[in-house]
Amino acid sequence: MWINCLVIAIYLSFALDLLIWPIPSEASTSSLISKEKELVSFKSIKAMLVLLFSLIFYLFPLYFSIKQLILDERFLSPTLVVLVGLCLAILGRFISLKASQVLRKNHGISIISSSIFEHSRNPITLGMHLTIFGLIICYNSIFLYFGFIFYAVNLHGKIKIEENYLKEKFGEEYLKYIEKTPRYLWI
């Protein structure tokens, strides 16, 4: 039961990022869809399908947790693997929330190359990857493993859009930052 409650708490923490303190981005799903409102094109249909799949993918562990709580089912395997998954999810949320806090203080005025942004140009995304992957480990569903690949490719594309925007906005300063700081942790 406590595992399900922890998973639900992790999902509630997403509300901080999405509803209470959203960070504007050129590559957010809502931003990409709103830019294409006038055109009913393959790109806008693709964006809507990605959004639909993302919602299903993101909400699957939450659905499992609520279902298990309501039906008073025990977690399938509260093993070391599940505990590792929960630790990854909690670490990921911590990284994302810390990076969001640092980014909000800057207000998009300049390139942030200190704090957590010293180790990764995209610590929010890195934290989200850890969180989602941790939850996938907990539920061990083939759908979630497959979905994670799609999710990672989708976010990588959005990061490239954001990087192009930042290159235009900050020019040489951002190019120097790219040279010394990896996109995630290792690449």
pLDDT, mean of residues 169-182: 92
pTM of the model: 0.77
Cβ-based neighbour number of residue 109 at 10 Å: 7
Provide the pLDDT for residue 39.
44
On average, the pLDDT of the chain sits at 78
pLDDT, mean of residues 120-137: 90
Q: Which comes out higher in pLDDT, residue 29 or 177? A: 177
Residue type, 67: K
User: Tens of pLDDT along 89-120?
Assistant: 999 999 998 988 888 887 767 888 888 898 99
